[in-house]
Amino acid sequence: MKKQTMQAIILAAGKSSRFNTGNTKLSFTLCGQEMIAYPAKLLSAMNVPMTLVVGFQQETIKDIIKKYAIEKTTFVEQEKQLGTGHALMCSQHTWTEDHILVLNGDIPLITHDVINALCTHHTTHDAAVSFITTYSSDNSAEGLGRVIKKDNTIEIIEARNCTTEDFTQLPLNAGIYLFNRQFLETTLLSLTPNEKTGEIYITDLIKYASDKKLTVTTINASFDNVRGVNTLKELWAAEHIKRSELLTYWMNKGVRFAAALNVCLDLDIEIGAGTFIGTGAILLNGTRIGKNCIINAFSYISNTTIHDNVEIKPHSAICDSLIHQGCQVGPFAHLNKSIIQDNVIIGNFIEVKNSTIGEDKTIYFACLGGEMGSENSNHTVQ
Ligand code: UD1
Ligand code: MG
C-alpha cells in the first residue's frame, strides 16, 4: 500500500477577544517561548509540512515563526475572522497530502505522542475524520465543545449551544482533528454559519461525516496535554504545567531548588548537576549555569554563561555576560555585557557594564563609603 502522507493546518487567525489584552494570545510566552511556536516547532520536529492560517496581527505571528527559523511553513490569510471552519476553508488551496491534520493554535502543551496516536488510530480505521477528546472538571474546560455520541451518531456541540442537562459529564473536543483530504474537499464547502453566532464551525464537519455514515473515530488524551488557552488565567495554568515539567527535568539532572514553586525557568536554559537555585530566582533564555554553583534568592539571570563553582549572591541582576569559574557576585550586583575572569569577587552593590574584570588577577569588591545615596557611594576598590 502507498505510504500515507500528512500535512498540517494551524488555525492562528483569531482575535483573542477573551484575552482582553488587545494583542493576539498566540504571541504570549510560556516559559519564554511564544504560544504559537509550541505546535509549530513540534510539527517541524516531526517533519510535517504546515500552513498557518493568519489574520489578526498576522505580522506578529509571521515574525515569531521567522525568529525560530521553522522550516516547511507557509501562511494563508483569513481576512475576516468568521470562525474555525472558515479559517480552514481559507487554506484549501494548499492541500496536497492524503491527510490534513488541523490544530488550534492555542494548545501549547500538545505532544508528539498525542499526534502520533491520532495518526495511527486514523489510518488503522481508515477514517474520514478522527479527533481528540478529553475529560476535565477544571473550570477552564467549561467553554469547550462537548462530544455527543448516541445511536451510532457523533457530533460536537459548543458549550454555549449545548442543551443536554448533564453536559458537564460529556467528553470534550480538544480542537485537534485529522481529516482524509477527499472527505474535506467534498464536505467543507457545505458548512454553513451557526444560527446563533454567525460563525462557521469546523466542528460541524463531525456531524456531516456521521450523518453520511462515514467512519469517525476519536481517541482520548490527557487534558493537560491538550488544554486550550483562551484567557490569561488559562495561560497562567498552562505555563505552570510547563514550568513543572522543566523543574522535574532539572531535578532529575541533580539540580536542587530551594522553593521550586517560586522559581521562574525558561525553556532554553541549562543547569549543571549539584547546583542550587534559591527562591525567587529568574533564569531566562540563553542562560547556561555550570556544576556546583549557588544561585541565591531573587537573582535575575538572562542570556548569561556561568561556569562551575560560582556563587551568585541574592538580588543580583546579570544579563548577556560570561562569568568564569570560582567567582562570587553580589549581593545586589548588576552585570551587563561583561566578562568576569576566574575566581573574581564582585561585591555588593557593584555595577559592571561592557567590561572585562579580573584579567590582572585582582579582586574587585564594593565598599560603601561616603554618604548613603550620594553618587560616589559605590566604589570599586582593589
Ligand atoms: C474551539 C472549538 C471547541 C473546542 C476548543 C478546544 C470550534 C467552533 N470550537 O473552541 O469545540 O472544544 O476549540 O480548545 O472550533 N481561529 C481562527 N479564525 C477564526 C476563529 C478562530 O484562525 O475565525 C483560531 C484561533 O486563533 C485559535 C483557534 O482557531 O487558535 C481556536 O479558536 P478559539 O476561539 O480559541 O476556539 P474555542 O472557543 O477555544
Ligand atoms: Mg481556544
Measured by CA distance, the residue closest to atom 8 of ligand 1 is 201
Domain count, the chain: 2
Phi first, then psi: what are they for 347, rounded to 5°? -80, -165
- If asked whether residues 223 and 265 sit together in one domain, one would say no
C-alpha cell at 144: 469547550
Q: Which ligand neighbours the alpha carbon of 10 most closely?
A: 1
Bridge partners (DSSP) of residue 220 are 133
- Nearest in space to 91 (alpha carbons), one of 75, 105, 79, 103: 75
Question: Does ligand 1 have an atom closer than 6 angstroms to the CB of 202?
Answer: yes
- If asked whether residues 276 and 169 sit together in one domain, one would say no
C-alpha cell at 94: 494548499
Of ligand 1's listed atoms, the one at least distance from the Cα of 53 is 22
Distance between first and last Cα of the chain: 77
In a domain, 226, yes or no: yes
In a domain, 317, yes or no: yes
CA angle 49, 53, 57 (to 5 degrees): 130
Measured by CA distance, the residue closest to atom 19 of ligand 1 is 83
Question: Does ligand 1 have an atom closer than 6 angstroms to the CB of 104?
Answer: yes
Q: Which DSSP string do the residues of 225-273 spell out, in sequence order?
A: HH----SHHHHHHHHHHHHHHHHHHHHHTT-EESSGGG-EE-SSEEE-T
Q: State residue 360's pLDDT score.
A: 61
On the 0-12 / 13-18 / 19+ scale of CB atoms within 10 A, 27 is middle
Q: Which ligand neighbours the alpha carbon of 203 most closely?
A: 1
Question: Does ligand 1 have an atom closer than 6 angstroms to the CB of 171?
Answer: no
- If asked whether residues 123 and 88 sit together in one domain, one would say yes
**Are 74 and 96 within 8 A, CB to CB?**
no
Domain of 257, in residue numbers? 253-381
- If asked whether residues 63 and 183 sit together in one domain, one would say yes
In a domain, 16, yes or no: yes
228 Cα: distance to centroid of ligand 2 (angstroms) = 5
- Nearest in space to 84 (alpha carbons), one of 64, 113, 105: 105
- If asked whether residues 206 and 261 sit together in one domain, one would say no
Q: State residue 145's pLDDT score.
A: 94
Instruction: Name the residues around ion ligand 2, CB cutoff 5 A.
Output: 106, 228, 230
Q: State residue 366's pLDDT score.
A: 54
CB atoms within 10 A of CB 368: 12
In a domain, 248, yes or no: no
Q: State residue 5's pLDDT score.
A: 97
Of ligand 1's listed atoms, the one at least distance from the Cα of 201 is 8
Q: State residue 369's pLDDT score.
A: 42
In a domain, 244, yes or no: no
Going residue by residue through the chain, which has 382 residues, state the pLDDT in tens, using 9 for 90 and above.
Answer: 578 999 999 999 999 999 999 999 999 999 999 999 999 999 999 999 999 999 999 999 999 999 999 988 999 999 999 999 999 999 999 999 999 999 999 999 999 999 999 999 999 999 999 999 999 988 778 889 999 998 899 999 988 877 766 677 899 999 999 999 999 999 998 899 998 889 999 999 999 999 999 999 999 999 999 999 999 999 999 999 999 999 999 999 999 999 999 999 999 999 999 999 999 999 999 999 999 999 999 999 999 999 999 999 999 999 999 999 999 999 999 999 999 999 999 988 999 999 999 876 555 655 444 343 333 333 343 3
Residue 219 to residue 122: CA distance in whole angstroms: 9
Q: Which ligand neighbours the alpha carbon of 106 most closely?
A: 1
301 Cα: distance to centroid of ligand 2 (angstroms) = 33
- If asked whether residues 175 and 209 sit together in one domain, one would say yes
Q: Which DSSP string do the residues of 69-129 spell out, in sequence order?
A: T--SEEEEE-SS---HHHHHHHTGGG--SSEEEEEETT-TT--HHHHHHHHHHHHHTT-SE
- If asked whether residues 199 and 270 sit together in one domain, one would say no
177 Cα: distance to centroid of ligand 2 (angstroms) = 14
In a domain, 344, yes or no: yes
Residue 240 to residue 52: CA distance in whole angstroms: 26
- If asked whether residues 65 and 169 sit together in one domain, one would say yes
Of ligand 1's listed atoms, the one at least distance from the Cα of 81 is 23
- If asked whether residues 177 and 287 sit together in one domain, one would say no
Of ligand 1's listed atoms, the one at least distance from the Cα of 25 is 26
- If asked whether residues 162 and 126 sit together in one domain, one would say yes
83 Cα: distance to centroid of ligand 1 (angstroms) = 7
- If asked whether residues 181 and 272 sit together in one domain, one would say no
0.75 exceeded by pTM: yes
Our mutation pick for probing the ligand 1 site, out of 35, 58, 104, counting the most ligand atoms within 8 A of Cβ, is 104
Helix runs in the chain, H state only: 37-45, 58-67, 84-90, 112-124, 181-187, 204-211, 223-226, 232-252
Question: Does ligand 1 have an atom closer than 6 angstroms to the CB of 238?
Answer: no
Question: Does ligand 1 have an atom closer than 6 angstroms to the CB of 11?
Answer: yes
